[in-house]
């Protein structure tokens, strides 16, 4: 059973119960008011008639002001035959087309000492009868006065009222049912749109689909807004996941390529060494004792082989170091992806910068190395990890040396609004403006540097991760052919900044 039909049935059922209760109340009030007027009139007539009764052995009725709808009957229980009619009004015969009309009456033993109203059919006609016992001095019932009122007109009116209430109730419930179906269809139409949108998304229409809304302030409107917001979030998450998967695939592809190059070089040199020493062994077996000239030729050949072997070993060592650095870089990025949490402590930044500049002087380089000014670091502390900050500075300095074939690479410091900056400036090849947003991406290398300088393109990605872990930010200023300045802005520790 659909929600629409269930809502309609509930609505119709509640309306039916309300209509029945309303009809019963209305019918009860109308009937009570109608019968109340008749009862008051009958009590009045009974009171007036009772005054006219003479208490003797032959009880007689003396009626006063009796209309055509009121009938009187007196039952005398002192006669020899109990239950006979002693007297009655003359209007008990003509209007009912009967020669004689008699109200049914109870036995003397069944009469209670109180006035009561009873409804009875007399010859097929409805009557409301007031029964008042007439008591003797010893409180025994000697007679029964019956005042009857013909209520055919009232009963007809009440029957008509019942029919009207029943017909209107049934018609109202039927109309409410169809109206409820229509209104529930209108009310549930936004939910149908939500369902259709979900089905289209499920069938592959994409997460860019949005559900139109009509009234944003009602419950359905808020549901629509919530679902649209959820779809937007899912679309962003899905796009982020796709970008992440694409980046991961690109990362694996680039890492495989970078690892394959040194492995190929190592394998080639190992194969060369194997061929050299296998051919040397075979030549010695073939020569035997052929003489002095053959020994001299073998000695020269051995010298050449020794030189070639040393060159191959150096190549293998260089590629092994290159692979080791690449693996370390990949390990750092893997830690970044895994949410690695660094251990943080308060660090004196001046001592850190001086340590980095001292070690940088021993790096292989063609450019000059200059340090200063560093006075902005005096008394400044930052919260961070000393080893990782040193690694970040070395990445920036090594990049400066790598892309500055001649000129100067300088490390200096500055301070600004709660941040302290460590800048590495070079006079090297520089970077084009459109490439600056990509220099922190993994395996990205500036086009002009490809093939000219060695590297994997992972250094600045690692530097960016370390900076993010320290809530730091980079500022890059560059000009092709003139050089680059990369500034790391670190937030000053709260204790130091509060002293200022």
CB distance 403 to 453 below 8 Å: yes
Domain co-membership, 36 together with 154: yes
| Domain residue limits at 8 | 3-159
What is the signed CA dihedral for 458, 459, 462, 467, rounded to 10 degrees? Answer: -140
Q: What does the pLDDT read at residue 409? A: 92
Residue 96 is predicted with a pLDDT of: 35
Pick from 101, 70, 82: nearest CA to 143: 82
Q: How many Å apart are CA 427 and CA 425, to the nearest integer?
A: 7
Q: Looking at the domain assignment, is residue 382 inside a domain?
A: yes
Number of domains in the chain: 3
Mean pLDDT per 10-residue segment, the chain (500 residues): 72 82 88 86 78 42 56 71 45 42 74 84 84 79 82 86 86 81 74 75 69 66 78 81 74 69 79 74 57 47 75 81 75 70 86 89 86 88 88 88 89 89 90 85 61 64 87 90 91 60
Q: Is residue 488 part of a domain?
A: yes
Query: What's the pLDDT at 488?
Result: 92
Q: What CATH number did the domain enclosing 386 receive?
A: 3.30.565.10
Quote the tokens at residue 109.
């033993």
User: What pLDDT is recorded for position 94?
Assistant: 38
For 84, residues 6+ apart whose C-beta sits below 8 A from its C-beta are: 75, 76
Q: Classify residue 196: in a domain, yes or no.
A: no
Are 350 and 485 members of one domain?
yes
pLDDT at 487: 92
Kindly state whether residues 31 and 58 are assigned to the same domain: yes
Same domain, 299 and 385: no
Query: DSSP of 333-354, one letter per residue?
Result: HHHHHTTPPPP-EEEEHHHHHH
**188: in domain:** no
Torsion of CA 273, 276, 278, 279, to 10 degrees: 170
Report the distance separating Cα 177 and Cα 127, nearest Å. 41
pLDDT of residue 425: 92
Q: Would you say residue 220 lies in a domain? A: yes
440 shares its domain with 487 = yes
- End residue of a domain, out of 286, 311, 340: 340
What CATH number should be reported for the domain holding residue 128?
Answer: 3.30.450
Instruction: Tell me whether the omega of the peptide bond preceding residue 373 falls within 30 degrees of 0, making it cis.
Output: yes
Q: Hunting for tokens 């004689």 — which residue is that?
A: 100
- Measured distance CA(230)–CA(179) in Å, rounded: 34
Whether 173 is covered by a domain: the verdict is no
Do 108 and 235 have their domain in common? Answer: no
Q: Count H helices, E strands: the chain?
A: 8, 12
Are both 333 and 349 inside the same structural domain?
Answer: no
Count CB atoms within 10 A of the CB of residue 361.
10
One domain for residues 280 and 349: no
**Strands, sheet with 141-150, edge to edge from the N-terminal-most edge strand:** 85-88, 70-76, 141-150, 125-135, 116-122
Q: What is the pLDDT of residue 446?
A: 64
pLDDT digits (tens, 9 = 90+) for 195-243: 777 777 777 666 677 766 666 666 777 777 787 788 788 888 888 788 7
Distance CA 102, CA 96 (A): 11
> Residue 83: its pLDDT value, please?
37
Is the domain of 310 the same as that of 362? no
- Residue at 477 is within a domain: yes
- Give the contacts of 71 (CB within 8 A, at least 6 positions apart): 88, 89, 91, 92, 101, 103, 127, 147, 148, 149, 150
- Domain end residue (candidates: 280, 308, 340): 340
Instruction: Give, for 368, the enclosing helix (H) or strand (E).
Output: strand 368-371
Residue 436 shares a structural domain with residue 419 = yes
Q: What is the DSSP string of 148-185?
A: EEE-HHHHHHHHHHHHHHHHHHHHHHHHHHHHHHHHHH
Spatial CB neighbours of 407, under 8 Å, sequence gap ≥ 6: 367, 368, 426, 427, 428, 483
CA 113 from centroid of its chain's CA atoms: 76
Last residue of a domain, one of 159, 175, 194: 159
Residue at 273 is within a domain: yes
**Shared domain check, 246 and 388:** no
C-alpha span between 213 and 58 (Å, rounded): 92
Neighbours of 61 (CB within 10 A): 19
Question: Would strands 125-135 and 345-348 be described as parallel, antiparallel, or unpaired?
Answer: unpaired
Q: Do 308 and 292 fall within a single domain?
A: yes
């Amino acid at each position: 059973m659909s929600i629409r039909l269930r809502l309609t049935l509930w609505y119709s059922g509640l309306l039916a119960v309300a209509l029945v209760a309303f009809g019963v109340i209305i019918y009860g009030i109308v009937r009570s008011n109608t019968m109340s007027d008749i009862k008051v009139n009958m009590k009045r007539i009974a009171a007036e008639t009772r005054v006219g009764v003479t208490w003797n052995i032959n009880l007689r009725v003396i009626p006063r002001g009796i209309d055509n709808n009121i009938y009187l009957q007196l039952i005398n229980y002192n006669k020899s035959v109990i239950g006979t009619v002693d007297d009655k009004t003359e209007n008990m015969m003509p209007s009912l087309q009967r020669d004689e009309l008699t109200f049914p009456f109870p036995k003397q033993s069944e009469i209670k000492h109180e006035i009561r109203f009873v409804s009875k059919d007399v010859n097929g006609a409805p009557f409301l009868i007031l029964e008042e016992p007439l008591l003797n001095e010893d409180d025994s019932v000697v007679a029964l006065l019956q005042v009857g009122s013909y209520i055919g007109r009232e009963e007809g009116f009440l029957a008509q009222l019942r029919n009207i209430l029943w017909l209107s109730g049934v018609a109202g419930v039927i109309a409410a049912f169809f109206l409820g179906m229509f209104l529930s269809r209108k009310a549930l139409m936004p939910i149908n749109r939500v369902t259709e949108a979900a089905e289209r998304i499920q069938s592959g229409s994409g997460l860019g689909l949005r559900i139109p809304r009509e009234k944003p302030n009602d419950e359905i409107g808020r549901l629509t807004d919530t679902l649209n917001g959820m779809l937007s979030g899912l679309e962003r998450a899905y796009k982020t996941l796709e970008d992440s998967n694409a980046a991961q695939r690109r990362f694996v592809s680039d890492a495989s390529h970078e690892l394959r190059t040194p492995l190929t070089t190592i394998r080639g040199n190992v194969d060369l060494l194997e061929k050299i020493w296998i051919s040397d062994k075979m030549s010695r077996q073939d020569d035997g004792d052929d003489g002095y000239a053959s020994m001299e030729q073998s000695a020269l050949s051995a010298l050449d082989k020794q030189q070639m072997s040393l060159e191959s070993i150096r190549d293998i060592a260089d590629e092994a170091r290159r692979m080791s650095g690449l693996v370390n870089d990949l390990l750092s990025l893997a830690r970044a992806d895994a949410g690695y949490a660094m251990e943080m402590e308060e660090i004196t930044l001046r001592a850190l910068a001086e340590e980095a500049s001292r070690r940088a002087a021993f790096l292989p380089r063609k450019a000059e190395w200059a340090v200063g000014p560093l006075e902005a670091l005096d008394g400044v502390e930052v919260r961070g990890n000393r080893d990782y900050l040193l690694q970040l500075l070395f990445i920036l300095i090594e990049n400066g040396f790598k892309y500055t074939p001649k000129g100067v690479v300088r490390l200096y410091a500055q301070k600004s609004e709660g941040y302290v900056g460590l800048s590495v400036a070079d006079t090297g090849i520089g970077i084009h403006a459109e490439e600056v947003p990509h220099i922190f991406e993994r395996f990205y290398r500036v086009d002009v540097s490809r093939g000219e300088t060695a590297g994997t393109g992972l250094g600045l990605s690692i530097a960016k991760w370390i900076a993010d872990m320290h809530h730091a930010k980079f500022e890059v200023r560059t000009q092709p052919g003139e050089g680059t300045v990369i500034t790391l802005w670190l937030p000053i520790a709260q204790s130091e900044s509060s002293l200022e």
